Amino acid sequence: MTFGERLYELRKSKNISQEEMAELLDVSRQSISKWENDKAYPEMTRLLFMSEYFDVSLDYLMRGTEEDENRKDVSVSYKAKNMLLVWNNFVSNLSSKQRKRLIILYVLLVCVCVAIVISFLYGVGYAIGQFVAHIQNDLNL
């Protein structure tokens, strides 16, 4: 099985089109087609992103070889240590349109978190107020 065939199978397993994958990687759809037809290969940053995205090793992606169990443990710790590096590579490869969408997503996420915290504090405050009111009623009887 060639690199292009593996890439095609991985893309189909995620049920994404060439256009969607091209947008993720900030390349043209024609580039994805060339990769899948083994007419060209992506650069290393895109290979790293694809490895993370499809949750496969670079060995599997490029050579079709499976990792043995000992190497898999090293790979997991490697992924954990370099998550920020992968994220930075991912963000640096985003188009300006994709970056704007990511910023909007961040803002919405922060707003949701703030709303959850406020709702929780309101609920706790209300419960404490009810508790104090019951104690006052019991003492007045």
My answer on whether 110 and 76 are in the same domain is no
Number of domains in the chain: 2
Q: How far apart are CA 6 and CA 137, in angstroms?
A: 72
| Residue 74, domain extent | 1-93
In this structure, the chain runs to a length of 141
Both structure tokens of 121 = 């504090």
My answer on whether 62 and 111 are in the same domain is no
My answer on whether 103 and 70 are in the same domain is no
- pLDDT tens digits along 94-141: 888 988 999 999 999 999 999 999 999 999 999 999 999 898 888 876
My answer on whether 76 and 106 are in the same domain is no
- pLDDT tens digits along 36-92: 999 999 988 889 889 988 989 888 888 887 655 445 555 555 555 567 777 777 888
CATH number of the domain where residue 35 is located: 1.10.260.40
My answer on whether 4 and 34 are in the same domain is yes
Which pTM was predicted? 0.48
My answer on whether 118 and 137 are in the same domain is yes
